[in-house]
């Protein structure tokens, strides 16, 4: 059965409370947080059982697609009154990153709620809260008797947090993805410490690069010329000097956010076999995050120049190299953005538009030409994704359900475009 509107944010007199006095939406959120879908061995079976139950409660058909062994992508569908129109996608991922439990004040998988209403758990911000907000927003809309014009899909993706199996990256080329006929997607964003809500219209490209520096080997007691270490030092200096330049650009500009500059971080150094042996090769790895405004081909030419300047024989390889420079329109003339922004304004929400500094599944959605916005309705909240003691306050969580109610209804009601097949025209 579908309960009545269940939250103090928009719930009104029909709100229902659990036996403990806790809002049922909060209880569901905490239940989901307790599922240990944590790497390196996420319990995806538990998540699938949870989603099966939710689909039954909401009376929504659910499709399961096994992308890799034991990696199942799940889609619930709320069909619109005009399913020929392009659909709305509400995207979320089921996995969470590992924890260092010794740094947590509570067990990261017990979903403790403290006296201030802060709910602690891995995934509280990234992004199990958003998943439940989607679900509860649709539960409320159905209880009210609302019906979307455009079909709404809720997608639950595995392995967003790791680089091995590639859930969404694989699925966007799958025939089932094309059948969804997506026109616009909502995906995860970030918390915001202030009153404003951050919305992301693009992402930086992650480049993971390893530079191989060969050199003359020899005994550790000699001044051997042209060593791997000398070349390595030159490479490190070039990358770290550039890092400092970008850091200064960020610090000196009041208009820039982290997503507007390139971050460079040295993450691994390898080489050598003994204290007294000069190695024949050393290597260094960097994590680069590059804004979509940067000329990526030109940036790689700069890397080649740094390698050439460091000495002969230096090569590099990419473990990850994304070249997607698509961004979602935030012009008021764009129907999707207009529906999103005007709905937020009607709720007195201030939006701050940014390039997402890290990486989400939105980049794969934009890469196939679908506009996507990264948005998590979590203001007045410290940014704690992947951090110790990740939490979300229950009132912020409940308010977000109301936000998604309004957004889902608005986005699914965007009028048909001239190029859409519309049997009612």
Residues 4-15, mean pLDDT to the nearest whole number = 35
pLDDT > 90: percent of the chain: 89
CA distance 54 to 60: 9
The active-site residue out of 95, 169, 283, 390 is 95
Residues whose CB is less than 8 angstroms from the CB of residue 187 and which lie 6 or more positions away in sequence, other chains included: 91, 92, 360, 361, 362, 365, 372, 373, 374, 375
pLDDT digits (tens, 9 = 90+) for 125-136: 999 999 999 999
Residues 46-55, mean pLDDT to the nearest whole number = 98
Query: Is 160 a residue of the active site?
Result: yes
Position 164 scores a pLDDT of 55
Position 52 scores a pLDDT of 98
User: Across the chain, what does the average pLDDT equal?
Assistant: 93
Dihedral, CA atoms, 394, 399, 405, 411, nearest 10 degrees? Answer: -120
CATH number of 205-290+293-321: 3.30.70.360
The verdict on domain 12-203+327-411 having CATH code 3.40.50.10490 is no
CA distance 139 to 296: 44
Q: Reduced to 3 states, what is the DSSP secondary structure of residue 310? A: helix
Confidence of residue 420 (pLDDT cuts 50, 70, 90): confident
Domain residue ranges in the chain: 12-203+327-411, 205-290+293-321
The active-site residue out of 6, 126, 159, 160 is 160
Q: Show the beta-strand stretches assigned E in 79-120.
A: 87-93, 118-120
Residues 345-354, mean pLDDT to the nearest whole number = 97
Nearest by Cα to 150 from 218, 94, 78: 78
C-alpha separations of 96 from 157, 205, 377 in Å: 11, 21, 19
Q: What is the pTM of this model?
A: 0.88
Query: Is 95 a residue of the active site?
Result: yes
Confidence of residue 421 (pLDDT cuts 50, 70, 90): low
Residues 64-77, mean pLDDT to the nearest whole number = 95
Residues 137-160, mean pLDDT to the nearest whole number = 97
pLDDT digits (tens, 9 = 90+) for 198-257: 999 999 999 999 999 999 999 999 999 999 999 999 999 999 999 999 999 999 988 899
C-alpha separations of 362 from 172, 270, 396 in Å: 11, 33, 24
How far apart, in Å, do the first and last CA atoms of the chain sit? 36
């Amino acid at each position: 059965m579908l309960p009545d509107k269940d939250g103090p944010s928009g719930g009104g007199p029909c709100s229902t409370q659990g036996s403990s006095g806790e809002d049922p939406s909060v209880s569901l959120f905490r239940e989901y947080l307790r599922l240990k879908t944590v790497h390196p061995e996420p319990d995806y079976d538990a998540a699938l059982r949870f989603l099966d139950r939710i689909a039954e409660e909401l009376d929504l058909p659910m499709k399961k697609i096994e992308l890799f062994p034991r990696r199942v992508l799940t889609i619930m569908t709320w069909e619109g009154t005009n399913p020929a129109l392009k659909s709305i996608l509400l995207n979320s991922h089921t996995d969470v990153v590992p924890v260092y439990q010794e740094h947590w004040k509570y067990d990261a998988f017990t979903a403790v709620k403290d006296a201030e209403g802060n709910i602690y758990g891995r995934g509280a911000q990234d992004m199990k809260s958003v998943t439940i907000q989607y679900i509860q927003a649709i539960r409320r809309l159905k209880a009210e008797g609302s019906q979307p014009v455009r079909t709404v899909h809720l997608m639950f993706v595995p392995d967003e947090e790791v680089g091995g199996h590639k859930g969404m990256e694989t699925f966007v080329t799958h025939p089932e993805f094309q059948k969804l006929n997506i026109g616009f997607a909502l995906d995860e964003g970030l918390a915001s410490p202030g009153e404003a809500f951050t919305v992301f219209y693009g992402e930086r490209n992650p480049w993971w690069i390893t530079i191989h520096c060969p050199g003359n080997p020899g005994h550790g007691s000699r001044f051997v010329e042209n060593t791997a270490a000398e070349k390595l030092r030159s490479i490190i200096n070039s990358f770290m000097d550039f890092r400092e330049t970008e850091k200064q650009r960020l610090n000196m500009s009041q208009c820039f956010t982290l997503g507007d500059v390139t971050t460079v971080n040295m993450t691994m150094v390898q080489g050598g076999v003994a204290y007294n042996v000069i190695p024949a090769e050393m290597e260094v790895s960097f994590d680069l995050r590059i804004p979509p405004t940067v000329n990526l081909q030109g940036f790689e030419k700069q890397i080649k120049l740094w390698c050439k300047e460091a000495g002969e024989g230096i090569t590099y390889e990419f473990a990850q190299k994304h070249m997607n420079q698509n961004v979602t329109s935030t012009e008021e003339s764009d129907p999707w953005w207009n529906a999103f922004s005007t709905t937020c304004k009607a709720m007195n929400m201030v939006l701050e538009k940014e390039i997402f500094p890290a990486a989400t599944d939105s980049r794969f959605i934009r890469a196939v030409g679908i506009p996507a916005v990264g948005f998590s309705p979590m203001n007045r909240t410290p940014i704690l994704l992947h951090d110790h003691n990740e939490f979300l306050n229950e009132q912020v969580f409940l308010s977000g359900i109301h936000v998604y109610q309004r957004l889902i209804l608005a986005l699914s009601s965007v009028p048909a475009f001239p190029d859409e097949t519309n049997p009612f025209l």
